[in-house]
Amino acid sequence: MPAENQPLVVAIIGAGPSGIYAAEALSQQSEVPVQVAVLDRLPVPFGLVRYGVAPDHHSIRSIRNTLERTLSKAGVRFYGDVTIGRDVTVDELRSTVDAVIYAFGAGSDRRLGIEGEDLVGSIAAPEFVAWYCGHPDVHPDTDRTARRTAPDELELEAERAAQLVATTRQAVVVGVGNVALDVARVLIKSADELAETDMADDVLASLAGKTVTDVYLLGRRGPAYTSFTTKELREIGQLPGVDVIIDERDLELDESSQAVVGQDKVAARNVAVMREWATRQPSGASRRIHFRFWTRPIRLLGEGRVRAVETERTRLNADGFVDGAGPGETIEAQLVVRSVGYKGIEMPGVPFDESTGRVPHSEGRVIRDGAFSDDEYVTGWIKRGPTGVIGTNKSDAVETVTSLLADVHDGDVVPRHRIDELDALLASRGIHPLGMPAWRRIDAAEIELGHSHGRERTTLAHRAELLAAADEPDDEAGRES
Ligand SMILES: Cc1cc2nc3c(=O)[nH]c(=O)nc-3n(C[C@H](O)[C@H](O)[C@H](O)COP(=O)(O)OP(=O)(O)OC[C@H]3O[C@@H](n4cnc5c(N)ncnc54)[C@H](O)[C@@H]3O)c2cc1C
């Protein structure tokens, strides 16, 4: 029998926004006493807020201050540098806690399925983004024996990315969402503008040496069908020293586009922004961003390295799907970034729907073998797919936690475990998690490094650098939770 007031021990896998919002929802209620362990495979928390949100979007990145406050609350503990599925299995974790919440995001990319996709110079946006955000997976330690490969290890290595950007004059970004805009901005912005970010030193050095003059964004549907948010789209038209080139004919709306614009205010605003661009006379700037709608790549051309993208024109068929509508232009490009969506990947031991790339659930309760699991819940991108803004994860996490608390109320989930059981399991495997004190030391080290170069902060990209910064100088064990 559990003692009265024995806290419910909940392990959350993933310290991105959704995991942290779930911890917040658990710690803010007073009905059920809780102890929350938020585990992440990386030494640092915040998920895509650190490793996805564009470095030049300072105010959005500052959301991490709010997330940090939650991880510092009594009853919530961060366990960094613990990979579930490798350091301990999901089943082992489940045997030490009362409930688990999966919040491990959707870290993989979708493919185009066209010839030439694997040429050097053709990369997926998640890899490129991880590179410029300083993700340790793509900034491997020099001592490769010390590398810990992640289950979804990204393949692009920093050196290769640096070489690609240094030798690119024209780039094509396939996709018309906010990530495509982020990639285009990073590729076209000047070195001085990028120096105002917290990019890692070697990333900044590579981008400072780049010679990109033109970035083409390709949308296989029309301008009414983009998934840009208007603020991010407008920003493109305000970049100093950059002309935006858009063909007026692409902005003529067919019947279906008119219907979309009639119903969707964001689509209508986006089309208005692009129409204003189309009226502008190019200033003759040396850098340009080109938008091409009703255009999709059909082949990447090149021998070894991408040299051009062959495209075709498209149109919607009667069922609303995209059909080819004849040959399009061939765009010279030395870099192609495929920004056609993120995708969830399976974690061993966790139910997974391959067709949706998500963990099957109802209101956050995981469905295992056709029935509700006793102790498993899910939130964030791995629950609903890669959609919405950061705030969407908050309401999503609240839904999941509401389901969990209702199950506790109904006696379906009962506090039986103590947090020391999880600690003992990790210790028995030689795993010493990094806690918030370690994060604060990393934070201070990044700020100090930044200040030493006249910047606000410089990201430490290598795992070895993060671990060195996390170490307490006189802590023999070198780790603490
Ligand atoms: C490039 C990009 C830019 C974006 N920009 C914006 C923006 O400007 N504004 C905005 O509102 N939204 C933006 N978003 C969306 C936002 O980042 C997501 O909504 C949010 O991060 C999803 O949260 P999550 O917690 O589900 O996943 P994630 O943030 O991906 O967090 C998942 C966490 O799980 C961890 N994990 C994975 N596997 C394991 C494992 N085996 N063991 C332990 N831990 C594991 C990961 O390390 C990660 O920290 C952007 C997304 C991307 C990709």
What does pLDDT average to in each consecutive run of 10 residues of the chain (481 residues)? 81 98 97 97 97 96 96 97 96 98 90 92 94 93 54 63 92 97 97 94 92 97 95 97 94 93 97 96 95 97 96 92 94 96 92 96 97 97 94 98 98 96 97 97 98 95 96 58 44
3-state secondary structure of 108: strand
Atom of ligand 1 nearest to the CA of 105: 27
Distance, in Å, from the CA atom of 165 to the CA atom of 186, rounded to the nearest integer, reads 11
Of 361, 374, 379, which Cα lies nearest the Cα of 416? Answer: 374
400 pocket-lining for ligand 1 (C-beta < 6 Å): no
The pair phi, psi for residue 50, each rounded to 5°, is -90, -35
Distance, in Å, from the CA atom of 14 to the CA atom of 6, rounded to the nearest integer, reads 25
Token pair recorded at residue 441: 């030391």
Looking at residue 85, its amino acid is: G
Eight-state DSSP code of residue 138: G
Residue 125's Cβ-count burial label (10 Å; 0-12, 13-18, 19+) is buried
Q: What does the radius of gyration of the chain's CA atoms come to, in whole angstroms?
A: 24
Of 431, 354, 396, which Cα lies nearest the Cα of 83? Answer: 431
Please spell the DSSP secondary structure of 192-245, one letter per residue: HHHHTS---HHHHHHHHT----EEEEE-SS-GGG-B--HHHHHHHHT-TTEEEE
Neighbours of 450 (CB within 10 A): 16
350 pocket-lining for ligand 1 (C-beta < 6 Å): no
Q: Are 364 and 399 in contact (CB under 8 A)?
A: yes
Token pair recorded at residue 368: 């295992």
Ligand 1 geometric centre to CA of 17 (Å): 7
Residue with the smallest CA separation from ligand 1 atom 7 is 53
At residue 158, the pLDDT reads 78
Residue 463's Cβ-count burial label (10 Å; 0-12, 13-18, 19+) is buried
Among 42, 78, 104, name the best residue to mutate to test ligand 1's pocket (greatest count of ligand atoms within 8 A of Cβ).
104
Q: State the angle between helix axes of 125-132 and 201-208 in degrees (0 to 180), rounded to the nearest 10.
A: 110
Among 48, 56, 339, name the best residue to mutate to test ligand 1's pocket (greatest count of ligand atoms within 8 A of Cβ).
48
Q: What is the dihedral of CA 391, 393, 397, 399, to 10 degrees?
A: 80
Distance, in Å, from the CA atom of 475 to the CA atom of 477, rounded to the nearest integer, reads 6
At residue 2, the pLDDT reads 59
Residue 371: CB partners within 8 Å, gap ≥ 6?
none
41 pocket-lining for ligand 1 (C-beta < 6 Å): yes
Ligand 1 geometric centre to CA of 42 (Å): 12
Helices (H), 325-433: 381-384, 392-409, 419-428
Q: Are 374 and 412 in contact (CB under 8 A)?
A: yes
Query: Of all helices (H) and strands (E), which one includes residue 327?
Result: strand 322-332
All domains of the chain in start order, with CATH: 8-106+344-433 (3.40.50.720), 110-341 (3.50.50.60)
Token pair recorded at residue 434: 């990094």
Token pair recorded at residue 70: 């939650």
Q: How many residues does the chain have?
A: 481
Neighbours of 249 (CB within 10 A): 9
80 pocket-lining for ligand 1 (C-beta < 6 Å): no
At residue 420, the pLDDT reads 96
Residue with the smallest CA separation from ligand 1 atom 2 is 52
Token pair recorded at residue 187: 């590729």
403 pocket-lining for ligand 1 (C-beta < 6 Å): no
52 pocket-lining for ligand 1 (C-beta < 6 Å): yes
3-state secondary structure of 11: strand
Residue with the smallest CA separation from ligand 1 atom 49 is 47
At residue 146, the pLDDT reads 47
